[in-house]
Amino acid sequence: MEFSDLLKEHIAHVQKYRDVVQNEEQTKQALIMPFFKVLGYDVLNPNEFVPEYTADVGIKKGEKVDYAIIIDDKPLILVECKSAQDNLDRHSSQLYRYFGTTDARFGILTNGVIYKFYSDLDQKNKMDSTPFLTIDLENLLDRDIPELQKFTKDAVDVSRILDSAETLKYSKLIKDWFATEMESPSPEFVKGVLNAGIYHGAKTQNVIDKFTPIVKKAGAQYINDLLNSRIKTALAKDEDESTLTDSSPEVPEKNNSVEIETTLEELEAFAIIKAILRQTVDSSRIFYKDTRAYFGILLDNNTWKWICRVYLQRSVKYLVIAGENKEGIRYNIENIDDIYNHADKIVEACTRYL
């Protein structure tokens, strides 16, 4: 079986049992050990997957990390485990202490759902404070799979992983910084934009305050335009493959002479619905159809196979999901995050076409 298929099976297993496990030991047995089995390790071989590995810290003896993965008779990966209900943000210090006392090159902090991968990119034998890779099995991205596959037993290569780890780490930090600046531009960021030949007058505080919302709006519009362009290009490639038209009653669409502007909020809704359906159908089969009245989600870009329609007017927001006989069932929402509350119905609607 392909690695991606094994991973998909494990994700279904995690979703089934994550709320069942009550403590760290149950999390290890039910979620964490099966994960490393997917990566190809013999979790029952104490010479390869060592539980309670000794990692003495200074004068403190008997310190033990939950697991150590041994390659060529040396610990390569240390694994520190927490309960599935634990927030990992508060627990990296323990793994940090263990890391510097062994020859391990990688540390993994996990609660069985989220896996944070660390190394010593900044300073040799000192674990970085920031993970270079974070895997959330409930929100797995396509680009995560090849990175995770590098840690499989048959493929693990320290040099290869470290080469990509630095790029992954700093790419994430840059993206996080950029996202923060787009959401709430700092004075320094706004000033930098203005200094790029945009505004030639004095950059006083009043000028910075004036341009801050303009910079934020321009950034959002650029991202919106970019997403529109890329998604519409992808849809155009499949245009000739979808010849069927929807026989169910439709609200009249926009006049072809009027350009349809797909909003950033609609694209975010599309991303949420694709994420909901990730375990049901390949994401490449999910498309959107934008009209004047609604934003529709289709299977295989086929209007016969409409899954749901999203209505995001300022005054009212609601979701219409295809029922058993393709009748639309309406659910009111306050914002696009509320779409997650109807995930089961969305999956059910999609499954009827499979």
Q: Are residues 256 and 312 in the same domain?
A: yes
**pLDDT confidence of residue 2:** 84
Q: Are residues 306 and 326 in the same domain?
A: yes
Which pLDDT band, with edges at 50, 70 and 90, does 60 fall under?
Answer: low
Q: Which domain holds residue 214?
A: 184-237
Q: Are residues 76 and 119 in the same domain?
A: yes
Domain boundary among 215, 237, 259: 237
Q: Are residues 124 and 9 in the same domain?
A: yes
CATH code for the domain of 119: 3.90.1570.30
The 10s digit of each residue's pLDDT in 252-285 is 444 444 456 788 888 889 999 998 998 889 888 9
The pTM of this model reads 0.59
Q: Are residues 274 and 317 in the same domain?
A: yes
The one-letter amino acid code at 37 reads: K
Q: Are residues 152 and 200 in the same domain?
A: no
CA distances from 314 to 279, 311, 318 (A): 32, 9, 11
Number of domains in the chain: 3
Which pLDDT band, with edges at 50, 70 and 90, does 62 fall under?
Answer: low
Q: Are residues 251 and 291 in the same domain?
A: yes
Q: Are residues 289 and 148 in the same domain?
A: no
Residue 220: inside a domain, yes or no?
A: yes
Q: State what percent of residues in the chain have pLDDT above 70.
A: 88
Which pLDDT band, with edges at 50, 70 and 90, does 115 fall under?
Answer: very high
Q: Are residues 17 and 162 in the same domain?
A: yes
**pLDDT confidence of residue 342:** 92
